[in-house]
Structure 1
Amino acid sequence: MFERFSRPARQVVVDAQEEARSLGHDWVGTEHLLLAALRRPGQPGTATLVRLGVTAESCRAAVSSVVGGADGDALGPEDAEALRAFGIDLDEIRRRAEGAFGDGALDAPVSEPEAGRRRGRRFMKRGRRRNRGSLGLPDAAPGPSGHIRFTGRAKKALELSLREAIARKDRSIGTEHVVLALLRGDDKISQGMFQQLGVAPGEMRDLVLADLRSAA
């Protein structure tokens, strides 16, 4: 499917990995795809977001506010609030852990047991020839600090971008289709990010589509 992406849309996927690295994340999620799209404020779809006040800077602040820890499936604001109702304060737990063990103590990955590492190496050897998903994207993208995986929600967004292109009867997948797909995101990270940005995704989708019709 990746061969159907336009050059700017392909660059969004590449830049999303750079955005993840710059934020110290070891995953590529919908938040990084949106940040990458905003690097090109003049592209269709992105231009609508920028016109309505969504910028790379405001988006990066929203991502930092919503995403915590070093896991693409980190607890979102709704989870934290629910735990607080039971007397569990995640912020207080983090403060105490970092006070005792240093900054980022809760973000350090858990070491894999030796037996697990051996099994993991054998699995990787068997699976190297099948390391590409249905999108034609590698499951992990090599980088200077290791491999960055695409989360399920990021892959879903890229798949939805194809559906957006088909629905509009466009021959290739452009940044506008990626943006439209991201605005359909129903995961907690996307919802929290748009909430921080003050964006109603459904209404923004309608405005993007209106701008695309005007430009046609």
Structure 2
Amino acid sequence: MFERFSKEARDVVIRAQDEANSLGHDWIGTEHLLLAALHHPEQPGAATLVRLGISTASCRAAVAGVVPGAQEDLGPEDAEALRALGIDLEAVRRRAEESFGEGALDSGRAKRGRGRGKGEGTLTRHVPFAARAKKVLKQALREAVARKDRGIGVAHLVLGVLRSEDNISLALFARLGIEPGMVRELVLDDLRTAA
């Protein structure tokens, strides 16, 4: 199926992993696919979202609001709460780094490798696709077949995401202020115009 993806649609799939990594998530979900699609604002589907006022920044904020990052550091309130229990977070970090090296308490899931377009030494990790994201990829194929399109583009991926009815996708749509059915019709109109 992946051979039917346009260059831009392939990039969306690859960028979805980058987005999941940057947010500290352990999976690639529909939210990461939507966020990655916005990196191609000139493509149908993504262009529709941009026209509706959705940017990569607003989408990233919405994703972070729906699914907090798994690798976020403890904040000042957390440190204060731990101090009330007799735990000095900075002292714990310092002792751990003295014994085990710098960054000992940082996430162990990241590994040194070659990041996509980022050069040597960038921290990257493989992130698996959640079942709901795999469903979007299958739905993108169905969208292309239903329209008799030869390939799968960014618009088909966006259409697949807009069909998602899982709690995370629905919460994301609500935070973005979009009604999926209405946006879906706008994307289809854009595809008809582009054809």
TM-score, normalised with respect to structure 2:
0.73
Query: Which of residues 117, 121, 129 in structure 2 aligns to 1:150?
Result: 129
Aligned residues: 156
- Once the two structures are superposed, the pairs formed by residues 36-185 of structure 1 within 5 Å of their partners are 36-68=36-68, 70=70, 99-100=81-82, 144-185=123-164
Q: What are structure 1's unaligned runs of at least 5 residues?
A: 72-94, 103-107, 110-142
Instruction: Check if 1:20 corresponds to 2:13.
Output: no
Partner deviation per Cα, 1:27-50 (whole Å, 9 max, x = no partner): 111111111100110011111110
Measure how far apart 1:211 and its partner are: 1.6
1:64 alignment partner AA: A
1:208 has 2:187 as partner: yes
Larger Rg: 2
Q: What is the distance in 1 between the residues matched to 2:132 and 2:31?
A: 10
Shift of 1:215: 2.2
Aligned residue type for 1:151? A
> 1:38-94: CA deviations, max 9, x gaps?
0110011111110111111110110011113539xxxxxxxxxxxxxxxxxxxxxxx
**d(CA) in 2 for partners of 1:164, 1:145:** 32
Secondary structure of the residue aligned to 1:68 is coil
In structure 2, runs of 5+ residues without a counterpart are 72-76, 90-105, 108-121
